[in-house]
Amino acid sequence: MREETQSRPYAFWMLARVAQFCYRRRRLVVLAWIGIIVSVSAVGWGAVGPDFRTDFNLPASETRQVFDFLRDRSPNDGGFTGQIVFTAPQGIADERVRASAETLFEQIAVLPGVSVTSPYSEAGAYQVSESGLVAFAQIRVSNRTQKGFEEIGRTIMDITVPQVDGLTVEYGGNIFYKFKMPASEALGILAAIIILVLAFGSVIAMGLPVGTALVGLMTSAGVIALTSRIFSMPDFSIAMAAMIGLGVGIDYALFIVTRYREGLAHGYDPETAVVDSVDTSGRAVMFAGATVVISLLGLFLVGLPFVRGVAISSILSVLFMVLASLTLLPALLGFTQRKLDVTTWRGAIGLLLPVITGIPAILFKSAPIFLVGLALAVVVIVAGFFVPALRQQVPIHHSHRREDTFWYRWSRFIQRRPWRALLGGLVPLLVLALPLFSIRLGFADDGNYPRKETVRRAYDLLSDGFGPGFNGPLIVLVQSRDGATLDAAQTEAVARTLNGTTDVAYASAPTPIGDDAAVITLFPKGAPQDRSTTQLVHRLRSDVAPTMDALVRVGGFPAAGVDFADYLGARLVWIIGGVLVVSFLLLMCVFRSLLVPLKAVVMNLLSIGAAYGIIVAIFQWGWGAGLLGLDKAGPIESWIPMFLFAIVFGLSMDYEVFLLSRMKEEFDRTGDNATAVADGLAVTARVITAAALIMVCVFASFVIGDDRQLKLFGLGMAVAVLVDATVVRMVLVPATMELLGARNWWLPRWLQWLPKIHVEGTHHDLAAEASALLSEHEATEAEPVAEPVA
């Protein structure tokens, strides 16, 4: 037995050792995790604190060149800018309105590192609309940390504005907007609890995956907070990591708990069942986590600090979820022993009542709804002492015949008509993916924030008073081509040409910055995120600038969005291609087949394509946007398709491997492809469905927040996982497997040298090895210690 155990691949053999240690030293393991959570949270969120910041630096871009030149010429003009926008029906020239506004500006100007350009000053004369009803003061804040910008923004907004009838004051710019962490994690966890209780019928079996995921989430959050001081990470990195971590963490733990239950059902003792579950499903968890991490590592090839920071936070979240599933979960299973499925009606009802009422309480922000559920739960628990029926155990139904399950019959239904099933699943996915071909990458502007945000209301006031392009002016830098003194006639010619260009609302007079350069502020007719503005940037660079005697470069926020979208769009194809090739090779080693990994890659592309199509239809075209709390369409954030592909492809690989490895196992055992397909689907469908529903709920819960980027990302993830676990796994996979028959597992002779990767083993083989490992340990402990020789 010992030789058989040691002949196993070392990494997987070590999983059995780790599981055994965590089971036998469960108190130590739990205490160690508690200590880790307390320490990283205290340091990451307390003593040191996070430093989240967004770095959209694109060194080789034309926008960056303009920015660097202006920064070098005017080093004191760095930092953030914002606007105080005000309007009054009696006009901003009204004496009471002017007195109130100037009092506000004076209080702001005395703040350290803050300067104000008033619309009532000579320099700010252009800051008054033609109607005289809207005006703004330009605020400039000197360079400081992200936290410092947030603090100065709150300080400015806290200053009391002298009251004048009809006067409305709003604040525009990033310094006046703070990202608010949505309550999505709580909503996703509550949904996961309901799904797990319904799937398992056990409170303990539910609590273990949720508890393990929460521990991984808290630990990774503290580490991410510390890491933000090393790498540039945007403020929503924690929310992204929580979304991904909760989804994969609950799923990973669910796979191990499901295998543990199967082990107990096979008659194994708890310790053997724990070692077996970690040494089988634990391998799948390691493989699944590795595929997600590898996909995210591909994003490092982009070379942008912003993308790298979000990728690092997501990777840390996944790694800690895998670690918690392989170490903490075996320890917790050691405490449950054989009581995993022991749940009374009192406990189940007492748990579900506050959970079910907690969901509408979060959605409608109504604490009384949750308190009602909590009170009812207390009543049920107390009633259990007097009502015997509430103390009875919830019956757990185990299916003994695979052929009797719904999913086995479903698979046979699909296999009897594979061509119709293939077309019925393929056509809807292709239709859903059609909007993808009109995708437009870019950046949403402040006009996409909810109307309850002051930055959105300031945006709307500026658009109404000055035109939509005023919210995103372009900065045109004019330089002499040979470094000589710039002729005023040259700059004036550039300004005249710009004013005559299509889609230009107004180009200002040139402002000299030295003898060899000048700046022109150009206001487009369209909003910063409009397609016309993007086309204008390309037109200025490709058609207008080359015709000028002077050197003309275009920068500003809209131009930065165009540069960023072009840069990421050009690299998206390479990243997708790289991930596809690596995934194909990995699956080819796992399944020893050419056609199975090829189908897996194609089907994953179909599910991701459908997700892309839906987010384009909703967020870019505006179809049904109001249902998600959006009142304005806009481009798709440039970085989201890249992240969406990397993460969803990694997650889809998990389900693919979990399903096909069971089919391969049955095929190797029976040699009957049709039976292997039906049996594999019947065995895995329940856990895949529960895991997918949990992921969908976790991802979809982020749609309730106000942040457009999280809405977009969460909906895309939810749709991709839902399509992958239903249409792809339950329709397309059995249909194509039936059509290809035994050819599914064909591998040419010249590829037989490929390494064999065993993702999961069978209960029979691995349980025997687990028992051998336990016997070996007990025999080692029983060996007598030799007496010392005198």
What amino acid occupies position 161?
V
Using 50, 70 and 90 to split pLDDT, how confident is the model at 589?
A: confident
User: Rounded mean pLDDT of 688-700?
Assistant: 89
Assess whether pLDDT exceeds 50 at residue 790: no
Task: Note whether residue 352 is domain-resident.
Answer: no
The structure tokens listed for 509 are: 């007079």
CB 182 within 8 A of CB 704: yes
pLDDT at 133: 95
pLDDT at 764: 44
Task: Note whether residue 209 is domain-resident.
Answer: yes
| CA 678 to each of CA 87, 122, 734, 738, 744: distance values in angstroms, whole numbers, following the listed order | 69, 80, 8, 10, 15
Label each residue of 118-176 as H, E or C: CCCCCCCHHHECCCCCEEEEEEEECCCCHHHHHHHHHHHHHCCCCCCCCCEEEEECHHH
User: What is the domain extent for residue 113?
Assistant: 76-176
Q: State whether residue 604 is helix, strand or coil.
A: helix
pLDDT at 401: 73
Q: Residue 653: which of 735, 572, 586 has the closest Cα?
A: 586
Using 50, 70 and 90 to split pLDDT, how confident is the model at 725?
A: confident
Mean pLDDT check: name the lowest of 117-131, 308-322, 419-433.
Answer: 117-131
How many domains does one find in the chain? 3
CB 780 within 8 A of CB 2: no
Task: Note whether residue 353 is domain-resident.
Answer: no
Examine the domain organization and report whether 599 and 745 are in the same domain: yes
Q: State whether residue 81 is helix, strand or coil.
A: strand
Assess whether pLDDT exceeds 90 at residue 124: no
Examine the domain organization and report whether 530 and 628 are in the same domain: no
pLDDT at 400: 59
User: Rounded mean pLDDT of 628-632?
Assistant: 86
Assess whether pLDDT exceeds 90 at residue 104: yes
Distance of CA 189 to the CA centre of its chain: 16
Examine the domain organization and report whether 593 and 607 are in the same domain: yes
> Which among 519, 536, 555 is the end of a domain?
555
Rounded distance, CA 239 to CA 250, Å? 16
pLDDT at 786: 39
pLDDT at 465: 93
pLDDT at 414: 94
Q: Residue 780: which of 12, 11, 17 has the closest Cα?
A: 17
pLDDT at 536: 96
Task: Note whether residue 410 is domain-resident.
Answer: yes
Assess whether pLDDT exceeds 50 at residue 570: yes
Distance of CA 593 to the CA centre of its chain: 32
Q: What is the CATH number of the domain that holds 142?
A: 3.30.70
- Across the chain, mean pLDDT equals 85
Examine the domain organization and report whether 119 and 196 are in the same domain: no
Q: State whether residue 393 is helix, strand or coil.
A: strand
Task: Note whether residue 332 is domain-resident.
Answer: yes
Examine the domain organization and report whether 619 and 725 are in the same domain: yes
Task: Note whether residue 365 is domain-resident.
Answer: no
pLDDT at 79: 55
Q: Which residue has the tokens 């490992």?
A: 773
Rounded distance, CA 780 to CA 601, Å? 47
Distance of CA 230 to the CA centre of its chain: 21
Distance of CA 522 to the CA centre of its chain: 36
Using 50, 70 and 90 to split pLDDT, how confident is the model at 717?
A: very high
Rounded distance, CA 256 to CA 253, Å? 5
pLDDT at 609: 94
Residue % of the chain over a pLDDT of 90: 37
What amino acid occupies position 442?
G
Q: State whether residue 664 is helix, strand or coil.
A: helix
Assess whether pLDDT exceeds 80 at residue 49: no
Assess whether pLDDT exceeds 50 at residue 788: no
CB 705 within 8 A of CB 628: no
Examine the domain organization and report whether 427 and 280 are in the same domain: yes
Rounded distance, CA 311 to CA 227, Å? 12
**Cα Dmax for the chain:** 107
| CA 689 to each of CA 255, 677, 685: distance values in angstroms, whole numbers, following the listed order | 12, 17, 6
Examine the domain organization and report whether 100 and 19 are in the same domain: no
Using 50, 70 and 90 to split pLDDT, how confident is the model at 187?
A: confident
Examine the domain organization and report whether 227 and 318 are in the same domain: yes
> Which among 488, 521, 555 is the end of a domain?
555
CB 542 within 8 A of CB 553: no
CB 170 within 8 A of CB 101: no
Q: State whether residue 115 is helix, strand or coil.
A: strand
Mean pLDDT check: name the lowest of 166-175, 368-377, 668-677, 771-780.
Answer: 771-780
Contacts of 486 (CB under 8 A, 6+ apart): 478, 479, 480, 512, 515, 516, 517, 518, 550
pLDDT at 672: 85
CB 147 within 8 A of CB 51: yes
Examine the domain organization and report whether 110 and 247 are in the same domain: no
CB 17 within 8 A of CB 769: no
Task: Note whether residue 292 is domain-resident.
Answer: yes
pLDDT digit string (tens) for 283-303?
Answer: 888 888 888 898 888 888 888
pTM: 0.84
∠ CA 669-663-319, nearest 5°, is 120
Examine the domain organization and report whether 583 and 709 are in the same domain: yes
Q: What is the CATH number of the domain that holds 506?
A: 3.30.70.100
pLDDT at 208: 92
Assess whether pLDDT exceeds 90 at residue 671: no
Contacts of 309 (CB under 8 A, 6+ apart): 55, 228, 231, 232, 233, 234, 237
> Which among 119, 143, 176 is the end of a domain?
176
CB 339 within 8 A of CB 672: no
Which residues pair with residue 139 across a beta bridge? 82, 116
CB 590 within 8 A of CB 759: yes
User: Rounded mean pLDDT of 108-125?
Assistant: 89
pLDDT digit string (tens) for 483-525?
Answer: 778 888 889 999 999 999 999 998 988 988 888 889 998 999 9
The one-character DSSP state at 344 is: B
Examine the domain organization and report whether 109 and 165 are in the same domain: yes
Q: What is the CATH number of the domain that holds 195?
A: 1.20.1640.10
User: Rounded mean pLDDT of 268-274?
Assistant: 91
Examine the domain organization and report whether 626 and 742 are in the same domain: yes
Rg value, the chain, Cα: 31
pLDDT at 362: 84
The one-character DSSP state at 8 is: S
Assess whether pLDDT exceeds 80 at residue 35: yes
Contacts of 173 (CB under 8 A, 6+ apart): 80, 81, 82, 83, 139, 455, 458
Task: Note whether residue 596 is domain-resident.
Answer: yes
pLDDT at 780: 44
Beta-strand ranges (E) seen in 501-562 are 504-507, 511-512, 517-524, 551-555
CB 175 within 8 A of CB 153: yes
User: Rounded mean pLDDT of 409-432?
Assistant: 94
Residue % of the chain over a pLDDT of 70: 92
Helices H, strands E: what count in the chain? 26, 11
